[in-house]
């Protein structure tokens, strides 16, 4: 058992299966439909990255760093780029859906892949639930502009006290509705989901560009002095907070088997998505700090919309607020796609119930896994306060980044001669630096969250040893695999 725990998939077998799927002669029943070109892959990365955070968070960060917030944005982007380079190499080398789970199965072995998949399911599940939970509040603000309001008891989970009221919540109805809506969209097909996401991404990017363009005229260079009023330490700490505004590119690598040309377009999609987001975020940070006196930034709930009002464009501010609310649905679309594809691939490998990998011949989507995860996510979003568990999302992301970076080093030793269209530069130093950055960010999280995360991983190990290993053994194709641990 100790040897088979670390059995690895073969790169050659995965590539052969990839080519068979492209030709349409894989012979394994209905498969995921290859519908996603480069533009859609880029839009998935941008759509999952640009959420409510960029419309809200810069005011808090600027109040901690001053104009040097721009440096914090750049540092966060560079830190994410270190992991993105590793993702790009493995996305090209291993054209399989499942993101870090699939890469780890090839590079580091089954039990490590199981733990990463287990962590990613938690990450995507909590992130989707939390985003949906917060969406109701934003929606209520927009409806208020038309004189409509959602009853307060339908905006909060059971038992949660409603602000300025003696009542408690019943359930978060908008959160459940948003998840149901996204689930139905995902079942309809990846092409339909991608088209909706493309529109939402275009709207969000245009809204940010509108803010930059309209407010640049009110930019006052004098407000950039002093540039770093709170010192370098505050800039570095804020970079750690901003890091999580950039991490959506992971979702691109979950849909490799639905890309028209995965080996060529996956690395390009990751790099272009990260570049677009980085440029927009740095520009937003620069304009915002040159628009307001530093003392006025602290406490602003919607700094970008408020900035447009200050610049004399109140109608544009309202449009931006609407786009920010609607655009959150794009985060849910991409997050839900990522979660369902990871579960689908784990099921196909025998590490999740077999029915989760069934593909609808009509829509080409994993309907069972989409429905199950949709129901669970809707229940969580509507009925459970998730603020205290938000660090779990960070743990899952950082663990995946560490595994992928380690996987690049392992694959350079395991398969040095396999052609790579994209190669991570500076191996092993860049991946090692990426691991160090991610571990350092983990250490900034609350210790109570460490215990919760380790508890979740311990449960995962128990499930693997009692059921997962045996189930995976039944479907593991020994003719397409390599037994034994890779790393000494």
CA distance 47 to 131: 13
pLDDT value of position 19: 73
pLDDT value of position 488: 33
Residue 22's pLDDT band (cuts 50, 70, 90):
low
pLDDT at 487 over 50: no
pLDDT at 24 over 70: no
Range of the domain at 58: 2-482
pLDDT at 68 over 80: yes
Least confident of 76-85, 138-147, 427-436: 138-147
Least confident of 180-184, 313-317, 478-482: 478-482
Looking at the domain assignment, is residue 236 inside a domain? yes
pLDDT at 139 over 80: yes
Least confident of 283-297, 319-333, 470-484: 470-484
Looking at the domain assignment, is residue 488 inside a domain? no
pLDDT value of position 486: 43
**Average pLDDT score over the chain:** 90
pLDDT value of position 26: 57
Looking at the domain assignment, is residue 487 inside a domain? no
Looking at the domain assignment, is residue 333 inside a domain? yes
Looking at the domain assignment, is residue 120 inside a domain? yes
pLDDT value of position 484: 46
Mean pLDDT along residues 306-324: 92
pLDDT at 458 over 70: yes
pLDDT at 141 over 90: no
- pLDDT, one tens digit per residue, over 225-248 is 889 999 999 999 899 889 988 888
CATH code assigned at 334: 1.20.1740.10
- pLDDT, one tens digit per residue, over 340-388 is 999 999 999 999 999 999 999 999 999 999 999 999 999 999 998 876 6
CA distance 135 to 150: 12
Mean pLDDT along residues 396-407: 95
pLDDT value of position 161: 87
In this structure, the number of other CB atoms found within 10 A of the CB of residue 455 comes to 10
- Report, in this order, helix, strand and coil percent for the chain, each rounded to 5: 75, 0, 25
Residue 479's pLDDT band (cuts 50, 70, 90):
very low
194 touches 44 (CB < 8 A): yes
Q: What angle do CA 212, 218, 224 make, to 5 degrees?
A: 90
Q: What angle do CA 201, 198, 305 make, to 5 degrees?
A: 20
Least confident of 158-167, 263-272, 283-292: 158-167
- pLDDT, one tens digit per residue, over 434-454 is 999 999 999 888 888 899 999
Looking at the domain assignment, is residue 357 inside a domain? yes
Looking at the domain assignment, is residue 445 inside a domain? yes
Q: If you write DSSP's letter for every residue of 325-380 in order, what string do you get?
A: HHHHHHHHHHHHHHHHHHHHHHHHTTSS-GGGG---TTT-S-HHHHHHHHHHHHHH
Q: For the chain, how many structural domains are there in total?
A: 1
Mean pLDDT along residues 288-314: 88
488 touches 365 (CB < 8 A): no
Mean pLDDT along residues 455-467: 96
Sign (positive or negative) of CA dihedral 422, 425, 428, 433: negative
Residue 23's pLDDT band (cuts 50, 70, 90):
low
- Least Cα distance to 329 among 141, 123, 186, 169 occurs for 186
């Amino acid at each position: 058992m100790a040897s088979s725990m670390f059995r690895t998939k073969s790169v050659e077998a995965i590539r052969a299966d990839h080519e068979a799927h492209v030709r349409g002669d894989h012979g394994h029943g209905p498969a995921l439909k290859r519908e996603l070109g480069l533009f859609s892959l880029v839009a998935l990365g941008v759509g999952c990255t640009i959420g409510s955070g960029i419309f809200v968070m810069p005011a808090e960060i600027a109040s901690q760093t001053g104009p040097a917030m721009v440096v914090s944005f750049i540092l966060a982007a560079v830190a994410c780029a270190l992991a993105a380079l590793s993702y790009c190499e493995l996305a090209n080398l291993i054209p399989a859906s499942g993101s870090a789970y699939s890469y780890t199965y090839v590079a580091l072995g089954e039990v490590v892949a199981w733990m990463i998949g287990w962590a990613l399911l938690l990450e995507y599940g909590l992130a989707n639930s939390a985003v949906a939970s917060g969406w109701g509040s934003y929606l209520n603000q927009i409806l208020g502009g038309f004189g409509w309001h959602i009853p307060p008891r339908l905006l909060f989970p059971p038992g949660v006290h409603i602000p300025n009221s003696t009542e408690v919540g019943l359930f978060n109805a908008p959160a459940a509705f948003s998840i149901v809506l996204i689930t139905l969209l995902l079942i309809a097909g990846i092409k339909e989901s991608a088209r909706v996401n493309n529109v939402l991404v275009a709207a969000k990017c245009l809204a940010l560009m509108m803010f930059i363009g309209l407010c640049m005229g009110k930019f006052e260079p004098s407000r950039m002095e002093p540039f770093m009023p709170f010192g370098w330490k505050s800039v570095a700490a804020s970079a750690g907070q901003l890091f999580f505004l950039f991490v959506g590119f992971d979702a691109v690598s979950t849909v490799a088997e639905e890309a028209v040309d995965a080996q060529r377009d996956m690395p390009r999609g990751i790099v272009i998505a990260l570049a677009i987001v980085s440029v927009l975020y740095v520009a937003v940070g620069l304009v915002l700090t040159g628009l307001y006196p530093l003392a006025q930034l602290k406490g602003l709930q919607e700094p970008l919309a408020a900035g447009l009002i200050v610049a004399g464009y109140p109608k544009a501010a309202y449009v931006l607020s609407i786009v920010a609310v609607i655009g959150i649905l794009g985060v849910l679309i991409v997050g839900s796609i990522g979660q369902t594809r990871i579960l689908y691939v784990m099921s196909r490998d025998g590490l999740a119930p077999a029915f989760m990998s069934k593909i609808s011949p009509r829509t080409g989507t994993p309907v069972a896994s989409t429905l199950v995860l949709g129901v669970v996510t809707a229940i969580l979003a509507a009925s459970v306060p998730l603020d205290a568990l938000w660090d779990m999302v960070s743990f899952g992301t950082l663990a995946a980044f560490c595994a992928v970076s380690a996987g690049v080093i392992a694959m350079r030793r395991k398969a040095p001669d396999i052609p790579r269209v994209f190669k991570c530069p500076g191996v092993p130093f860049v991946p090692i630096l990426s691991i160090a950055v991610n571990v350092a960010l983990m250490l900034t999280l609350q210790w109570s969250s460490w215990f919760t995360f380790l508890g979740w991983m311990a449960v995962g190990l128990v499930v693997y040893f009692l059921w997962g290993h045996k189930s995976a053994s039944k479907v593991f194709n020994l003719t397409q695999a390599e037994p034994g641990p890779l790393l000494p």
